[in-house]
């Protein structure tokens, strides 16, 4: 896959979303208030959204190597703090 293909796929994705719901991206820009935090491996072959059948913003997803949650990882600490607040 080359960079041009990625941009073409994204343009199609945007067009498809807008065809189904003209306000799709406006609604996304209004923010998010997910009820759940989902941590998954960054090498996951299935995304949390696909796994749960949800849309972006419905669950707070954190992806990292080996799905580790270590107290010494500032990125994980920030994610947990954000999710808790």
Residue 7 has what pLDDT?
96
Q: How far apart are CA 36 and CA 62, in angstroms?
A: 11
Q: What is the mean pLDDT of the chain?
A: 88
The answer to whether residues 21 and 37 belong to one domain is no
Tokens 């994980």 locate to: 76
Residue 29 — very low, low, confident or very high, per pLDDT cuts 50/70/90? confident
Q: How far apart are CA 61 and CA 46, in angstroms?
A: 13
More confident residue, 7 or 73: 7
Give residue 48's domain range. 32-85
The answer to whether residues 80 and 52 belong to one domain is yes
Residue 18 has what pLDDT?
96
pTM of the predicted model as reported, rounded to 2 decimal places: 0.65
Number of domains making up the chain: 2
* DSSP-based three-state secondary structure for 34: coil
Helical (H) or strand (E) element with 15? helix 3-20
More confident residue, 43 or 62: 62
CB of 83 within 8 A of CB of 37?
yes
Residue 33 has what pLDDT?
82
């Amino acid at each position: 896959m080359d960079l041009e293909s990625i941009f073409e796929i994204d343009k199609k994705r945007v067009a498809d979303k807008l065809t189904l719901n003209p306000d799709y991206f406006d609604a996304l820009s209004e923010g998010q208030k997910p009820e759940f935090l989902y941590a998954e491996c960054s090498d996951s072959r299935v995304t949390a959204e696909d796994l749960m059948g949800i849309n972006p913003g419905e669950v707070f997803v954190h992806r990292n190597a080996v799905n580790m949650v270590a107290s010494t990882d500032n990125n994980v600490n920030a994610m947990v703090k954000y999710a808790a607040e």
